[in-house]
Structures are given as C-alpha cells and as structure tokens.
C-alpha cells in the first residue's frame, strides 16, 4: 500500500516539473535571443552621461585644435556602442569658433536624414544642407562680441546668446529604445 502512495507522489513531481519546463520553453521561444531590455531609468542615465561627455570631448578637441572632430568621433563611438543595446542615438550638433573678427558656425547632423538647417546671426540667416553623418559650415562676418545664434531645424527653434571670442557648443540629442524616447540638449 505504501508503494502505490509513493508512486502517486512521483507522478505528481514529474507532472509539476514538466509544467515548469513547458513554461520555460514557451518564454524562451517567445523572447528573441540576445535582446536585453533597458528600462527608461537606464535611458535617462545614458542621456545624462552623453550630455556630460559632449563638453568634455569638445574641450579636448579645442586643446588639440579640433573641437568638432572630437565631438563627432565621440558621437559615432556612442552610436555604435548603444546600437549593440538596441538603443538609437540621434544628434544635431552646432559649433561656433572665432576666426579673427568673424565667426565660423559648423553643424553636424546625426538625425539619420539629411536636414536643411537655418542658422543666423544678427539677421543674417543662412540655410545649410547637412547630410546624415556629415558636417557643413558657414562664416559670419564681424558679428558683435556677444551675439544671438538663431537655429531652426526639424521643427526645433533655438536662440542662443553666445560669445564671439569663445568656442561654443550646442547639441540636441534623442535616445530611442522601443517606444521610449528621451530628449536632451545643452549649450556650453
């Protein structure tokens, strides 16, 4: 009699284990391999780090006489690194540098689409066509020592008060993961 009772418990344990294996198998089958989900808190943390690293890369580049180059290289590096985590980084970056009494405005586009960008100083507005992953620049002749840089691109409009004899950086960034989109920007 005792043997039959043990035999029933054995079948219950086997049935329970089969149910667990079935649910594990279903969840593995329904989840794509190698994809890890990042919570929106992680995306907030990542965009804060990117916003903090752009000025560092820009200052390093200025010290090496290549401010825009360092920021562009950092953007490419960050995009490739984040892509491995299924996070997309999009950026539009603006640089101003003094060239004697003139100001050079450089625009770098990482928004995945070519963009027409309006930049202006003291009513002198120019339209720059910037391909994805590339830069375009224009020189403004003899603006005031403190000037307003007017920027319009992709439904974004900014008016930035900047110094003529200072290298300036403004960037707009978006991080996307699934339906999560985080937007950041900074002027330095």
Q: pLDDT tens across 109-151, in order?
A: 999 999 999 999 988 999 999 999 999 999 999 999 999 999 9
pLDDT value at residue 68: 87
Q: pLDDT tens across 153-170, in order?
A: 998 999 999 999 999 999
User: For residues 174 and 90, is the Cβ–Cβ distance under 8 A?
Assistant: yes
Residue with more model confidence, 44 or 105: 105
pLDDT value at residue 37: 45
pLDDT tier at 28 (50, 70, 90 boundaries)?
Answer: low
pLDDT value at residue 109: 95
Q: Which domains does the chain have, with CATH numbers?
A: 37-187 (2.60.40)
User: For residues 181 and 174, is the Cβ–Cβ distance under 8 A?
Assistant: yes
* Helix/strand/coil percentages in the chain, nearest 5: 35, 40, 20
């Amino acid at each position: 009699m005792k043997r039959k009772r043990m035999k029933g418990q054995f079948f219950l344990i086997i049935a329970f284990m089969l149910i667990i294996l079935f649910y594990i198998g279903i969840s593995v089958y329904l989840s794509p391999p190698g994809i890890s989900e990042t919570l929106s808190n992680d995306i907030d943390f990542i965009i804060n780090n990117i916003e903090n690293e752009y000025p560092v890369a820009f200052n390093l580049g200025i010290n090496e006489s290549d401010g825009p180059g360092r920021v562009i290289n950092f953007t490419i590096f960050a995009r490739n690194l984040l892509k491995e985590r299924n996070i997309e980084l999009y950026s539009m970056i603006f640089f101003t540098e003094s060239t004697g009494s003139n100001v050079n405005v450089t625009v770098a586009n990482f928004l995945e689409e070519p963009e027409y960008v309006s930049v202006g100083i003291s009513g002198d507005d120019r339209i720059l066509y910037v391909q994805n992953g590339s830069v375009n620049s224009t020189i403004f002749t003899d603006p005031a020592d403190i000037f307003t840089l007017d920027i319009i691109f992709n439904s974004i409009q900014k008016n930035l008060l900047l110094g003529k004899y200072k290298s300036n950086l403004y960037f707009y960034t978006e991080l996307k993961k699934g339906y999560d989109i985080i937007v950041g920007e900074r002027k330095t």
